[in-house]
Amino acid sequence: MNTATVSDAETPRSLKARILGTPSVGPLLVLLGFCVIFALTNPRFLATHNLSIILQQTVIIGVLAIGQTLVILTAGIDLAVGAICVLGTIVAGKLVNLGYDPVLSMGFAILLCTAAGLAAGGLVSGLRLPPFIVTLGILGILTAALRLISEGGAFPVRDPFLAWTGNTMKLGGFVLTYGVLIMFTLYAAVWYLLNQTKWGRHTYAIGNNAEAARLVGIPVRRHLLSVYVLAGLIYGIAAWLALGRIPNADPNAMQSANLDSITAVVIGGTSLFGGRGGLIGTLIGALIVGVLRNGLTLAGIDPLWQDLVTGILVIIAVALDQMSRRKS
């Protein structure tokens, strides 16, 4: 009788602990907190028009953060996300402007972004080079190559197919672009891949302990290669979304994409040390970045201060993750 009573009394506590222990709950509370603060300071924040803008502005970083999440889950990091995405916009835009078929041009650009992921994955898995060094090197190579291809300047890309992802549709009071729908579709697909397939379980296992994963029969090198290839493919899709958002190919674009994508992943609860986290948290993290920038813009805060706040959030998130690992 007493045992049943104690058990019944502990059930709500255990449920509460389970809810609070869910990695995405913390980021969700942060997101809601920012929304409340900005709504109280500016009544325009909660207008459906402004919320639609936040979703549209989140698309590119939100999709780049999917690939970044996959890499970070394996205890790696990708510093070339922005450069690979810009590669896709420059190549697709250049080919279309030269008169090539837009569908084939975009397809080739996405294939090239995937090849960049293949190159990074090959160096990390094949030569066992640190992901930080590999992707930093690729960033430098692509930065120079993009300026050579574009001849140093930006150029407009006026093609209906390349701009299609920027077309809008109404859903209630919201105005959503097709890019927003593609972003949510990608999150659903990759979430399923990570949480419901053997491939996803292997990804987490490698991030937790690559050597232990190898000893239990997981093909670590081949799997790491597949992670970087998939990430590159996703960055290529982000390039198409970027052309829909801004029909302009600029080699100097997305200067803050690396920081913003890492911020979205880390704030979303994915550990920089690998093996912990998930895509739901990353989506919330991307929305936090979008809400933060939008709210500070409405408040008239200089963009430089926005970058400063974003950097502080990354440091706090990593520090909290490190402390939680020490406790466990």
Residue 28 lies in a domain: no
Q: Which two tokens stand for residue 217?
A: 């029969």
List, for residues 98-107, the tens digit of each pLDDT value: 999 999 999 9
Residue 252 lies in a domain: yes
Residue 102 lies in a domain: yes
pLDDT in tens, the chain (328 residues): 444 444 444 566 665 555 555 667 888 998 999 999 999 999 899 999 999 999 999 999 999 999 999 999 999 999 999 999 999 999 999 999 999 999 999 999 999 999 999 999 999 999 999 999 999 999 999 999 999 988 878 889 889 999 999 999 988 878 899 999 999 999 999 999 999 999 999 999 999 999 999 999 999 999 999 999 999 999 999 999 999 999 889 999 998 899 899 999 999 989 989 999 999 999 999 999 999 999 999 988 887 787 888 788 888 877 877 777 666 6
Residue 13 lies in a domain: no
pLDDT of amino acid 22: 64
pLDDT of amino acid 15: 56
Question: Computed over its alpha carbons, how large is the radius of gyration of the chain?
Answer: 21
The domain total for the chain is 1
Q: How far is CA 281 from CA 32, 44, 209, 224, 265, in A?
A: 13, 26, 22, 22, 7
Residue 4 lies in a domain: no
Whole-prediction pTM: 0.91
pLDDT of amino acid 7: 47
- Tokens 């030269």 locate to 98
Residue 27 lies in a domain: no
Residue 34 lies in a domain: no
pLDDT of amino acid 36: 94
Asked if 287 contacts 183 with a C-beta cutoff of 8 angstroms, the reply is no
**Could you tell me the CATH number of the domain that includes residue 177?**
1.10.3470
Residue 20 lies in a domain: no
- Residue 195, phi-psi category: left (phi > 0), alpha (psi -120 to 50), beta (remainder): alpha
pLDDT of amino acid 77: 96
For residues 265 and 323, give the distance between their C-alpha atoms in angstroms, rounded to a whole number: 18
Its domain, for residue 187, covers 44-327
- Tokens 């419901």 locate to 196
